[in-house]
Amino acid sequence: RRSAPAPSGPRQHTRLAMALRLAARGAALGARAGRPFLGSRTATAAPMRPCLAPLGGLRSLAGWPTADGANDFHGTTILSVRRGGKVVVIGDGQISQGNTVVKGNAIKVRRIGGSADGDSSSAVIAGFAGATADALTLLDRLEKKLEQYPGQLTRSCVELAKLWRTDKYLRRLEAIMVVVDKDVSLTLTGNGDVIQSPDGVIAVGSGGLYALSAARALNGLESENLDAEEIARRAMAVASDLCVFTNANYTVEVIEAGKAASK
């Protein structure tokens, strides 16, 4: 039995033209989205745009490159140096949005522990990079953890990092914290990291790499004339000279044997 020939005419040509248009439109949309259109054999996939990190804000806070534009807030350099029984946390005061300096005397280093008589046995210093509201929220949570686990900074930071990572509200906070006491120096991130410095030198922020390099170089010198505070100030001076998002308006907090001081 012979099959009937396929109908031809204006109606069939119209359907074919519509099908070709839909195929071409799907191929264009698929190429724009980074994947080929399944109905087209000639469609080619456009290269996917690389993603630098799931948390671009944290990368910028740590001094790493991001794909974001000039709306990001920069201008934080926090440095901690431990040497000779003294630990210092120093931070600059500049906050920038794009190429504009928003504020030049911000306080990004705070002492959240210690007794009123100056005893440093329970003193804790925290420096933060990130949005002020986010950082203050995390500092408040850290204080509560220190009240829950007195004298156990590492455990308090681990519990805070777990809460920061798992809580559906806290996980939206973008900040990086440098937390120190008389025994340990720690870095906390929103990725759940609690990193202890092997040499007592920590730096985060837009000028963190400059400050870290200078502080490690000065800390390696066998000169007794350089204490932790002098090393921190010299390293921050290098960072403020090289990083346009860092100024020389410093906030310094110090913990040493028997007392805690702020400058």
Q: Is the dihedral of CA 243, 64, 108, 196 positive or negative?
A: negative
Alpha helices, DSSP H, located in 34-94? 56-61
Q: Tokens representing 10?
A: 């204006």
Secondary structure (3-state) at 205: strand
- Per the CB < 8 A criterion, the answer to whether 201 and 239 are in contact is no
Of 66, 76, 77, 166, which is the active-site residue?
Answer: 76
Smallest CA-to-CA distance from 35 within 22, 54, 18, 49 is with: 49
Q: What are phi and psi of 209, to 5 degrees?
A: -65, -40
Q: Give catalytic status of residue 14 as yes or no.
A: no
Give the Cα separation of 255 and 131 in Å (integer). Answer: 26
The residues that are catalytic are: 76
